[in-house]
């Protein structure tokens, strides 16, 4: 998974100790021992009360499969046999006898892994202790794995870079140098034989075994115990044994040859005392290598053609002669899938972040694939495939990348950590450099470590990402300083960010910040001193900039400052282009908590209009009259309490008098704002403006502007005779109309105007009220306007001369009631009318249905096609069209809903296409709806309430069919020689179905009959009449003549249903289906329940 790939980007942290780990440690301390040669003997930490089932049968089966595989691959078989031979010759396993003679507590299956890059062991046999037994437990399942004891790989690599001489080595067969207690060896039995001619034998493994969960812990714990036991005799080697080994790999550095020789001698002697041997020695110090035999030296290899010989140390490539790190890049995978991309990224191991910008580029690409939700083996889209190819085609350039191993030198006595962080929309990064200097002005800067993380999929603001980058840098600095604490003295720490917002947040108390920011600021300040933070410009001045955006290998190689730092880092500190974090204040910062501060301002002005303008501004900010009135009443009550003694203060909800005062203050503020010139003129005794003179306005004793009018002598109340005057274009007027509209249960415009005019007179009240009325959602839902698209063009099958019943519409009518026979009390059952209508000739075919089942309908279709020929397309209503038809069509509705898939599948097998009209769009099938109506008309008039037998009803259906097929398609011709109108029957039998029988010609001589060409000519004449007399009658549009606007994707619509209008569902148009004329008549709508339905634009 990508968690494994990106695991090197995580920073180690201390965790609380697991009680199980404490138990394992106590058991080791109590039960480990050493034999006479100094080799350690350990016991596996089994869980208490464990149970293991039988594992031998599975081990036998897997061994036979392995043996079959080895027989197919000769070289693999030879290598496997050599490995097992060596295993036995060294005493690491012992043959106990044949299979039937040995009892085992657990039998371990085994297999091999190939390591072509290894210089010693190309093939290694691994034992599968996770193989389950008959009770579903495995050996690993009943063992404690033990605590993690291996050193942090970053710590080992950094220590490897601190001094002049680097050395590496490896413990030969470390696991197999540790013995297992004889009482537990029956748990590690295996099956083996060197030839198929031999019987299967049981071997017992005597040492720690690859594949057993506890083996890594026990092997490292033995090394630590050896260091503790030999600390007095080998103090230097014991320290390195604990801190410089990653499992069995040694990586360390010292300053002088003498220190290297001493360490080498102590390590060899110390490990030899425990039965271990060091081999694969490598160093940039040739005298050190000359002190060991050639077979114990590591042989450098060239990982790429024409490249320098290098040594692989903990996944990195080290050139000892040049003393630099480099990269070996494997050929890119040819599979353009997400699996191939992840595999390629996983090969790029870079724990210290030397090529972090390139790795970050690949991680961002992987995130794109996750966002697209591609399958593991789906091909990449073309644009992403091109982008990935551009990246992989440059990976070979990384073999030219070189970074010096030694991060400092003895002549430098003053060491500083320079940390940089930066963020972009793609992610964020932290980079640390070690700056070393001396008193003579010599400076050395080297990249120490870099980490990067992609941004979360959820969008985060840039300041927050910059804060995450600062948090990552703070953790990385704290971690790095702990790694360097024993090997190097750090005198100063400088941390840089190009975000002024982040630096200002660091100067702000955490309780003033929102939770997300406050939490991370607190963690940053706990990790590093805030005085370490400085501001630096982005771009070239900030090396973390490229790491937070990603770069191709060619771009990274063209930037030497990435490894050696920006040029300004070599200048004296007084010349650095930086600013202290204290220069950035918390003023106008984002992510600050809102302060609950109440500011009371008392002001006295000479102009009353100025003081009233505050109330008018308040009225413009609210959309609810009631809420505005209560807020202002609360303010009035608050002002009253401020000026009153404690005993006379009013608390709780605003009183009625306060609400009345608030309403009056609002009206007066609005009038002073909109009628200020008229009020001033009336106060001076002048006439008001021309627009208000019809109303004869005046000022009452309270200063309100009222309507004078002509009703002063009436006996109406004062407010009705002289209503308050309000402007037309004002927010207060609009929310007042909404208030009355809702208070009086959504009264209509005329009623609402009558109610409001009893107290207020609104200028152009009718237009304002209608405008607000149209914005009421509830009123809109009760009577929503519907879109009626213009009548569309006829489909192709209705305007082309093709044989009858080529394209038909089908509909079902009924039910009709039939009796079994003419006896009394005969059983009555239901029957249905199934009508097929030809879309070209309007010919109909009626069949009877005894039940609404798939089998019955298919039998009806068989009878229809047997007599009329196989049709090409059948069109019917969607089952949902029957919802509104009432109870009598409930059975028809159920039939169409439950059997549409079955019928459709059978029609496909007959090469008949079945098409549905949109749900609730019954007008799409107007032709067969009209035919059903006509058929029912005849049936109701003829049958009435009479219950017929099935034969009688079938006969009547046939008579109705004949009548309908004899209806004229167009008006009769004015030609006196033409006595017949064109009917559907002409296309079926060559004449009207109800015409008088013609003269019998069977007895006439053959030579007097018309030729077959004349028969064809007669048939073609009918079609010519159809084109000349009937087809043009379809030209004119009968309804839906006005073109309206088309619905568009994303629009909100109401979906018509049988429910009350206020309960109609809201839907969002997700797709439109334009007709041949470009008009949209059918759309796809997504409802709140995420269901997508097709619907016509009008019902």
| SS3 per-residue string spanning 942-991 | HHCCCCEEHHHHHHHHHHHHHHHHCCCCCCCCCCCCCCCCCCHHHHHCCC
Is residue 597 scored above 60 in pLDDT? no
pLDDT for 905: 64
Predicted confidence at residue 728, as pLDDT, reads: 87
Distance CA(1052)–CA(1057), nearest Å, equals 16
Q: Which residue has the higher pLDDT, 1077 or 936?
A: 936
**Beta strands 40-42 and 33-34: pairing type?**
antiparallel
Mean pLDDT of 9-21: 69
Angle between helices 731-743 and 656-674 (to 10 degrees): 140
Burial (CB < 10 A; 0-12, 13-18, 19+), residue 622, is: middle
Instruction: Count the Cβ atoms, other than its own, within 10 Å of residue 207.
Output: 23
CA separation, residue 214 to residues 26, 59, 126 (Å): 14, 21, 14
Q: What is the pLDDT of residues 398-421, one digit of tens each?
A: 888 888 999 888 888 899 999 999
Instruction: Give the pLDDT mean for 536-542.
Output: 88
> Comparing 19-325 with 614-782, is the CATH topology the same?
no
363-368 average pLDDT score: 92
Label the pairing between strands 873-876 and 807-819. parallel
Please tell me the distance from the alpha carbon of residue 838 to that of residue 842, in angstroms, as a whole number.
5
Which residues are registered as beta bridge partners of 114? 123
Least-confidence region, from 146-155, 557-566, 814-823: 814-823
Q: In what order do the strands lie in the sheet with 40-42?
A: 33-34, 40-42, 179-180
Q: Residue 989 — very low, low, confident or very high, per pLDDT cuts 50/70/90?
A: confident
Residue 1057 reports pLDDT greater than 50: yes
For residue 254, what are its two tokens? 């010292």
Are 758 and 717 a contacting pair, CB within 8 Å? Answer: no
CB atoms within 10 A of CB 277: 14
**Of 476-485, 581-590, 775-784, 796-805, which range is least confident?**
796-805
Within 10 A of 908 (CB to CB), how many other CB atoms are there? Answer: 11
Provide the pairing of β-strand 201-205 with 93-98. Answer: antiparallel
pLDDT given for residue 829 in this prediction: 85
Say what the pLDDT of residue 951 is: 82
The pLDDT of residue 698 is above 90: no
Sheet (strand 311-313) strand order: 311-313, 316-319, 324-326, 403-404
Q: What is the pLDDT of residue 188?
A: 94
Q: Per-domain residue ranges for the chain?
A: 19-325, 338-583, 614-782, 807-968+984-1034, 1051-1095
- Which strand (E) or helix (H) includes residue 828? strand 828-838
- Is 719 in contact with 667 (CB distance < 8 Å)? no
Residues facing 422 on adjacent strands: 429
Nearest to 191 by CA among 65, 21, 354, 349: 65
Mean model confidence pLDDT for the chain: 82
Which of 89-93, 342-346, 583-587, 993-997 is the most confident on average?
A: 89-93
Distance (Å, whole) CA 490 – CA 563: 20
Helices 656-674 and 625-643 sit at what angle, rounded to 10 degrees? Answer: 110
User: In the prediction, which pLDDT does 996 show?
Assistant: 44
Length reported for the chain: 1099
pLDDT at 195 over 50: yes
- Residue with the bigger pLDDT between 324 and 969: it is 324
Most confident segment among 554-563, 986-995, 1044-1053, 1069-1078: 554-563
Read off the pLDDT band of 940 (50, 70, 90).
confident
- Where are any strands of DSSP class E within 710-806? 724-726, 760-762
pLDDT classification of 608: cutoffs 50, 70, 90? very low
CATH 1.10.340.70 applies to domain 614-782: yes
855 vs 139: which has the higher pLDDT: 139
Taking CA atoms, 1087 is separated from 802, 1069, 1084, in Å, by 41, 9, 10
Q: Do the Cβ atoms of 486 and 604 come closer than 8 Å?
A: no
Question: In this structure, is the dihedral angle defined by the CA atoms of residues 471, 474, 478 and 483, taken in order, positive or negative?
Answer: positive
In the chain, what percentage of residues exceed pLDDT 90? 35
State the pLDDT at residue 298. 83
Cis-peptide, bond into residue 999, ω within 30° of zero: no
Integer Cα distance of 628 and 593 in angstroms: 27
CA atoms of 283 and 173, how far apart (whole Å):
21
Taking the domain 807-968+984-1034, which CATH number applies?
A: 3.30.420.10
Which of 115-119, 268-272, 551-555, 838-842 shows the lowest mean pLDDT across its residues?
115-119
Burial of residue 378 (CB within 10 Å: 0-12, 13-18, 19+) is middle
Say what the pTM is.
Answer: 0.57
For residue 969, which of 945, 956, 997, 988 has the smallest C-alpha distance?
Answer: 988
C-beta separation of 817 from 947 below 8 A? yes
Q: How confident is the model at residue 1082, as a pLDDT?
A: 80
1050-1063: average pLDDT: 73
In this structure, what are the phi and psi dihedrals at residue 680, rounded to the nearest 5 degrees?
A: -65, -40
Q: Which of 255-269, 396-410, 669-683, 817-831 tops mean pLDDT?
A: 255-269
Q: How many CB atoms lie within 10 A of CB 915?
A: 10
Q: What is residue 98's predicted lDDT score, i.e. its pLDDT?
A: 92
- With cut-offs at 50, 70 and 90, classify the pLDDT of residue 1024: low
Instruction: In whole angstroms, give the CA distance from residue 101 to residue 88.
Output: 20
| CA nearest neighbour of 279 among 39, 80, 115, 119 | 119
DSSP 884: G
The C-alpha torsion from 78 through 82 and 87 to 89, rounded to 10°, is: 140
Which strand (E) or helix (H) includes residue 49?
none
Q: In the CATH hierarchy, which top-level class contains the domain 19-325?
A: alpha beta
Residue 410 to residues 244, 407, 488, Cα–Cα distance (Å): 21, 11, 11
């Amino acid at each position: 998974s990508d968690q494994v790939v990106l695991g090197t980007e995580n920073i180690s942290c201390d965790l609380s100790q697991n009680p199980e780990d404490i138990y394992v440690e106590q058991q080791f301390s109590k039960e480990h021992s050493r034999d006479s040669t100094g080799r350690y003997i350990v016991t596996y930490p089994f869980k208490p009360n464990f149970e293991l089932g039988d594992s031998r049968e599975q081990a036998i089966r897997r061994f036979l499969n392995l043996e079959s595989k080895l027989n197919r691959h000769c070289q693999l078989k030879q290598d496997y046999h050599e490995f097992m031979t060596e295993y036995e010759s060294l005493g690491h396993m012992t043959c106990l006898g044949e299979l039937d003679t040995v009892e085992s507590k657990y039998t371990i299956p085994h297999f091999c892994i190939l390591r072509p890059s290894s210089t010693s062991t190309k093939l290694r046999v691994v034992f599968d202790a996770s193989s389950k037994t008959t009770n579903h437990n495995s050996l690993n399942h009943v063992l404690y794995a033990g605590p993690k004891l291996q050193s942090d790989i970053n710590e080992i690599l950094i220590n490897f870079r601190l001094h002049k001489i680097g050395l590496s080595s490896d413990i030969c067969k470390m696991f197999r140098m540790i013995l297992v207690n004889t009482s537990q060896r029956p748990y590690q039995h295996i099956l083996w034989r060197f030839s198929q001619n031999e019987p299967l034998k049981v071997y017992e493994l005597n040492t720690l075994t690859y594949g057993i969960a506890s083996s890594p812990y026990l092997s490292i714990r033995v090394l630590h115990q050896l260091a503790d036991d030999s600390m007095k005799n080998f103090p230097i080697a014991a320290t390195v044994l604990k801190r410089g080994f990653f499992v069995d790999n040694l990586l360390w550095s010292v300053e002088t040859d003498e220190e290297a020789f001493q360490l080498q001698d102590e390590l060899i002697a110390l490990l030899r005392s425990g039965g271990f041997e060091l081999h694969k020695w490598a160093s940039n110090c040739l005298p050190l290598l000359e002190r060991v035999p050639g077979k114990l030296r590591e042989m450098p290899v060239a990982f790429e053609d024409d490249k320098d010989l290098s040594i692989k140390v903990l996944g990195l490539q080290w050139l000892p002669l040049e003393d630099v790190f480099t990269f070996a890049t494997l050929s890119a995978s040819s599979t353009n899938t997400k699996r191939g991309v992840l595999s390629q990224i996983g090969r790029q191991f870079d724990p210290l972040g030397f090529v972090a910008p390139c790795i970050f580029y690949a991680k961002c690409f992987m995130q794109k694939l996750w966002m697209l939700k591609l399958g593991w083996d789906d091909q990449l889209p073309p644009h992403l495939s091109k982008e990935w190819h551009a990246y992989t085609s440059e990976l070979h350039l990384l073999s030219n990348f070189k970074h010096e191993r030694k991060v400092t030198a003895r002549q430098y006595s003053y060491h500083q950590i320079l940390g940089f962080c930066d963020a972009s929309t793609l992610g964020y990064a932290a980079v640390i450099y070690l700056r070393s200097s001396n008193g003579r002005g010599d400076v050395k800067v080297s990249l120490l470590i870099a980490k990067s993380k992609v941004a979360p999929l959820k969008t985060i603001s840039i300041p927050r990402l910059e804060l995450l980058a600062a948090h990552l840098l703070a953790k990385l600095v704290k971690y790095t300083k702990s790694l360097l604490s024993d090997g190097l003295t750090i005198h100063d720490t400088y941390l840089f960010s190009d975000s002024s917002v982040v630096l200002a947040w660091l100067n702000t108390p955490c309780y003033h910040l929102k939770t997300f920011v406050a939490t991370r600021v607190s963690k940053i300040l706990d990790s590093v001193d805030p005085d370490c933070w400085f501001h630096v410009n982005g771009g070239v001045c900030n090396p973390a900039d490229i790491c937070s955006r990603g770069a191709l290998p060619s771009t990274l190689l063209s930037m030497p400052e990435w490894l050696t730092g920006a040029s300004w880092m070599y200048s004296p500190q007084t010349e650095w282009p930086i600013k202290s974090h204290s220069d950035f204040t918390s003023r106008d910062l984002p992510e600050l908590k809102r302060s609950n501060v109440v500011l009371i301002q008392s002001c006295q002005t000479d102009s009353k209009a100025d003081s009233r303008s505050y109330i008018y501004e308040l009225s413009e900010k609210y959309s609810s009259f009631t809420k505005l009135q209560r807020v202002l009443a609360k303010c009035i009550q608050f002002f009253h309490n401020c000026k009153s003694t404690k005993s006379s203060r009013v608390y709780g909800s605003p009183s009625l008098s306060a609400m009345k005062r608030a309403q009056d203050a609002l009206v007066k503020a609005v009038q002073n704002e909109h009628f200020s010139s008229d009020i001033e003129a009336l106060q001076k005794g002048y006439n008001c403006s021309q627009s208000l003179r019809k109303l004869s306005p005046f000022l009452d004793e309270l200063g309100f502007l009222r309507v004078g009018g002509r009703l002063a002598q009436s006996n109406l109340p004062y407010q009705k005779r002289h209503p308050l005057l309000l402007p037309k274009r004002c927010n207060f007027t609009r929310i007042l109309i909404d208030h009355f509209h809702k208070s009086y249960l959504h009264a209509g415009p005329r009623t609402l105007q009558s109610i409001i005019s009893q107290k207020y007179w609104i200028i152009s009240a009718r237009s304002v009220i209608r405008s607000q009325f149209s914005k009421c959602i509830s009123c809109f839902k009760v009577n929503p306007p519907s879109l009626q698209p213009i009548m569309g063009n006829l489909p192709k099958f209705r305007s082309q001369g093709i044989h009858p019943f080529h394209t038909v519409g089908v509909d079902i009518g009924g039910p009709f009631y039939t009796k079994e026979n003419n006896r009394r009390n005969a059983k009555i059952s239901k029957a249905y009318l199934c009508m097929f209508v030809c879309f070209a000739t309007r010919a109909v075919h009626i069949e009877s249905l005894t039940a609404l089942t798939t089998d019955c309908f298919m039998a009806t279709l068989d009878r229809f096609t047997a007599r009329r020929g196989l049709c090409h397309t059948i069109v019917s209503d969607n089952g949902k069209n029957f919802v509104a038809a009432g109870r009598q069509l409930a059975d028809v509705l159920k039939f169409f809903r439950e059997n549409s898939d079955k019928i459709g599948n059978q029609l496909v097998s007959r090469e008949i296409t079945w098409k549905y009209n949109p749900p609730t769009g019954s007008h799409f099938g107007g032709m067969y709806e009209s035919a059903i109506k006509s058929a029912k008309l005849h049936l109701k008039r003829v049958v009435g309430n009479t219950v017929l037998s099935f034969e009688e009803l079938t006969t009547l259906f046939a008579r109705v069919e004949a009548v309908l097929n004899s209806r004229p398609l167009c008006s009769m011709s004015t030609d006196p020689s033409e006595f017949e109108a064109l009917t559907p029957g002409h296309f079926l039998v060559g004449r009207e179905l109800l015409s008088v029988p013609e003269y019998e010609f069977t007895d006439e001589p053959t030579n007097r009959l018309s030729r077959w060409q004349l028969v064809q000519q007669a048939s073609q004449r009918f079609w010519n009449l159809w084109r000349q007399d009937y087809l043009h009658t379809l030209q004119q549009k009968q309804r839906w003549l006005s073109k309206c606007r088309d619905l568009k994707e994303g629009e909100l619509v109401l979906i018509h249903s049988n429910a009350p209008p206020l309960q109609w569902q809201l839907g969002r148009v997700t797709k439109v289906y334009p007709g041949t004329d470009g008009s949209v008549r059918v759309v796809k709508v997504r409802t709140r329940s995420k269901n997508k339905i097709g619907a016509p634009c009008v019902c």
